[in-house]
Each structure stands twice: as C-alpha cells, then as structure tokens.
Amino acid sequence: MTEKSKFLLSEEDIPKTWYNIQADLGFDLPPLLHPETKEPTILPPPLFCAALNEQEFSKEREIEIPKPVRDIYRMYRPSPLIRARRLEKALDTPAHIYYKYEGGSPSGSHKPNTAIAQAFYAKEAGLKRLATETGAGQWGSALAFACKLLGLECKVFMVRVSYNQKPYRRVMMETWGAEVVESPNASTPMGAAFLEQDPDHPGSLGVAISEAVFTAGTNDDTNYALGSVLNHVLMHQTVIGLETQKQFEMADEYPDILIASIGGGSNFSGFVFPFMREKIVDGRDIRIIAVEPTASPSLTRGIYAFDYGDTAQAAPIAKMFTLGHTFIPAPIHAGGLRYHGMAPIVAALYDKGLIEATAESQLPVFKAAVQFAQTEGVIPAPETAHAVKVAIDEALKAKEEGVSKVIAFNFSGHGLLDLAAYDAYNQGSLEDYALPEESIKAAMAILPEVPTEYAAA
Ligand SMILES: Cc1ncc(COP(=O)(O)O)c(C=O)c1O
C-alpha cells in the first residue's frame, strides 16, 4: 500500500467553471426580501454589480471562471489534499483522515477564491473601490490582496474585538494598500449610534456589514463585497471541492464524512457542494457535517426564519437559520465564526436534513488544534480548528466502532496570525463562553415581520 501523503494537481487542473448547486437543489430558495418594502428583491444595485447579481440567481450548473481570475488562482491553486498520517497514528485510529489545505493562499485562507472573482467583476463594471467588513481579518486581507492585484481601492471595517486581538491582520491589509478602520466607527451614522449606546461596543460582523453597506450605498464609485453567505460567494468557493474530487480519485478513495467549520457558510459550501451534488443526484451515501462555535450557534440553536443580514437593517432580508440580527456573540478567537445568520442555501440544506451540524466550544477546539499542530505541524486558524475537533472526534468514534472511515475536512486557513489565542491557550488563560438562553431569546424576539406568502416559503 502506498504511503503517499500529498495529492497534488497541476495548474491545468484548476477548474474552468464554478459549480452552481442551485441547478441541482430540486427546490427553489425562498426569495430575498427588500429591507424596507419586504418584497422580493435582487441584490441592491448600488451595492453589487450586474455580473454578481446574475450569478446570485442563476440556475446554470456550471459558470465559467474568467481567465484573469484563473490566472490569479494559479498563484496558489490547486491546493493540496493531504493525508494526516501522523495524526491518524497518534489517534491510533483505523480511519483515514484527509485535509484540503487552503492555508497556502497569499492571505492564508480560502477567502481569496471569491475575493479575486468579486474584485475582477467590480473592475469590469468600472468601479473604483470595494468596501467590506471583516471579523478575524481573513476576509479583509483576502479582499485587500485581490483589490491590489486588480487595481481597485479597498476599505475595510474591522470588528473592534478582532482589531484589538489581531493587529497584524490590520498591518497585512494596509501592506496591500487597504484603508482599515475599526467598527463600530464614528464616521458612519450607524457606527456613531452604536458607540453612543455603548462606547465599549465590541463590534460584530452584523454591525460592520451595516457600515460597509452604508459606505457603498452612499458612494457611486464604491461597491460592497461580502466574504460569505451569498449564493455567488459560496459558488466561487467550489473550486475547493471540485479539486478535492479529483484528488480523491488520485488517492483511490471516497470520503464517508466531510467536515468544515461554518461562519457564514462559504468554506463549508465550497468544500462540500460538489459532493452534495453526488449525494442529491447520484444518491451517494456521505455524511456532511458543519461545525459552528457554541458562542454563535445559528444552525444548532437558531431558528429558520426571515431576518436581516446586518444589525442596522440595511441589507436584504433572507430566510436563514438565525440567532437574530441584534445578537452580539461573545469575543471568541474564531472571529470569522461570529455571525448571527447562515447562508440561505446551507440553511435550506440543513432544514431538509441533507447536512448535519454540531456546535463546539473554544477550549476543546484549541486542544484539538494543538494536537493537530503537534502531529501534522500546521497551526490551524481558530475557525479551522472547529473542523479539526470534529474530524478527531469522528476518527476516535471509528476506532471505538472498529471501522475504517474516510474522513475529510477543509483546512480553511492557517493560524499564524492567531498566535495570541494560542498563547492564551498555552498559558491556561483561554476562557470558554456560555451562551445564556435569554440572550438568544431577546435577539430572536425582534425578527422582521414579512408578508405571509413569503413567510410560508
Ligand atoms: C480561516 C477561516 N475559516 C472559516 C471562516 C468562516 O467563514 P465561512 O463560513 O464563510 O467559511 C473564516 C471567516 O473569516 C475564516 O477566516
């Protein structure tokens, strides 16, 4: 038996098309509703260019990746699929554990897969600048990098708790030429209002989205870019799963279980959607597990309802699993998982029982991340560490049951700019956060009312 560890594709194997799961869902997604009229809407044109709007609602199965986007993908794609043999050995498990390593992109995560595409279409549409929010800084740095390569300016509202926890992410964005401000920010009306309510407001992705949306909506030369949640963003990430399928052919195996962390849903979707097609269309027996933090458990403790995408109610209303748009998660280190809602496609798949979800808390997640680092060498981002935790749990379950499962997880990003979190864990000062039932109930009490015909969708 081969002892091969890395399954490598050539640049020619970079997918030429993205996979659009909307072609294969077999049901229509509930409509996106305008935040004021509560009637069906497209993505607001002052925020998004026509090409992205078309992709958002397209039912075409394959959408061509423009050549300039593929040319930038060549800088870091295809990414390797790696068999975690040393981790398997340490766990003494019969399971085969694989991870798709997205940490090798210039910004260190999967996020450039869509940032490059979004910057390309914005440039084509004649825009000068993109505005966005960032939590952990992974998305902001991906967009800063993409904008620089495509000749656009970039403005990033960075969630305050991450701005303070991760100063080097800010430096990274600034090195790629972006303007980075902390959110809430007194320069926007909503930021000023949040700061007036609470001068120590820790910020949240919901608040930062409101500020970036406001900036794009009030400047003709600026569009808004979102790093997750929307259909077109998830689709751009499918290069991950499409490559993984080819790599499993090389390995002569097929995954029994796919695992990915889930914030808004983009790395999860990019990794699993091509396999989901095989599950839906070909009836393949495959378990697909989304891993969220117990501090922001939209799938496992939220409800499936229409809610605003942002705290200030400026973004469209989508049907998703939500904790309520006013929900402010505890300041866990996995900043990219601190979002109140979930991508509508992922929410629909969960509602239909096609995927599973589990919530993990910070301390066991870091324990798993350290075990991974001490066997496989690579230090995972705190978000990625959620997937590592469940991959280890499943490998140990396989050992208990005496079965040899093939387990694959998406290694969404490295944690080399998250070392303050590892330091806290190593020093024993990292805390777990309990999520009081009342804080979810309070946020869910103010979900928007939408016309009944859509509420029933
Ligand atoms: C490394 C990493 N993994 C996962 C996520 C979660 O986002 P998503 O669910 O869109 O993949 C983020 C978000 O910032 C991230 O930076």
Per-residue pLDDT of the chain (457 residues; tens, 9 = 90+): 558 999 999 999 999 999 999 999 999 999 999 999 999 999 998 899 999 999 999 999 999 999 999 999 999 999 999 999 999 999 999 999 999 999 999 999 999 999 999 999 999 999 999 999 998 899 999 999 999 999 999 999 999 988 988 889 999 999 999 999 999 999 999 999 999 999 999 998 889 999 999 999 999 999 999 999 999 999 999 999 999 999 999 999 999 999 999 999 999 999 999 999 999 999 999 999 999 999 999 999 999 999 999 888 988 999 999 999 988 888 888 888 988 999 999 999 999 999 999 999 999 999 999 999 999 999 999 999 999 999 999 999 999 999 999 999 999 999 999 999 999 999 999 999 878 888 778 777 789 999 888 877 6
> How far does the chain reach from its first CA to its final CA, in angstroms?
51
Q: What token pair was written down for 201?
A: 């407001």
Question: Of 305, 284, 266, 234, which Cα lies nearest the Cα of 448?
Answer: 305
Compute how many other C-beta atoms are within 10 angstroms of the C-beta atom of residue 249.
Answer: 11
DSSP β-ladder status, 17-19 and 62-64: antiparallel
Q: Nearest residue CA, atom 12 of ligand 1?
A: 336
What was the pLDDT predicted at 457?
67
The secondary structure element, H or E, covering residue 155 is strand 153-159
d(CA 229, CA 242): 20
What was the pLDDT predicted at 287?
98
What was the pLDDT predicted at 257?
98
By most ligand atoms within 8 Å of CB, the mutation choice from 79, 99, 109, 205 for ligand 1 is 109
Give the amino acid at 84.
A
Residue with tokens 């002052």: 46
By most ligand atoms within 8 Å of CB, the mutation choice from 383, 410, 417, 418 for ligand 1 is 383
What was the pLDDT predicted at 444?
78
Q: Nearest residue CA, atom 7 of ligand 1?
A: 263
336 alpha carbon to ligand 1 midpoint, in Å? 5
d(CA 198, CA 189): 14
As a CATH number, domain 6-12+67-108+232-441 is: 3.40.50.1100
* Cα–Cα distance list, 130 to 160, 203, 244, 253, 273 (Å): 20, 21, 31, 42, 27
Nearest-5° Cα angle at 141, 139 to 147? 100
d(CA 19, CA 60): 9
What was the pLDDT predicted at 433?
85
Domain covering 27-65+111-230, topology: Rossmann fold (3.40.50)
What was the pLDDT predicted at 336?
85
What was the pLDDT predicted at 4?
93
403 alpha carbon to ligand 1 midpoint, in Å? 31
Residue with tokens 């090389």: 250
d(CA 101, CA 105): 9
Instruction: List pocket residues of ligand 1, CB cut-off 6 Å.
Output: 109, 135-136, 138-139, 228, 261-268, 336-337, 381, 383-384, 412-413
Domains 6-12+67-108+232-441 and 27-65+111-230 share a fold: yes
**413, 264 contact by CB (below 8 A):** no
The H-assigned helical ranges of 58-188 are 67-73, 85-91, 112-124, 138-150, 160-165, 167-175
Compute how many other C-beta atoms are within 10 angstroms of the C-beta atom of residue 434.
Answer: 11
Residue with tokens 């958002």: 56
Measured from the Cα of 108, ligand 1's closest atom is 1
**282, 434 contact by CB (below 8 A):** no
274 alpha carbon to ligand 1 midpoint, in Å? 19
Q: Which residues pair with 356 in a beta bridge?
A: 289
Structural domain boundaries in the chain: 6-12+67-108+232-441, 27-65+111-230
Number of H helices, E strands in the chain: 19, 15
Q: What token pair was written down for 452?
A: 């009944």
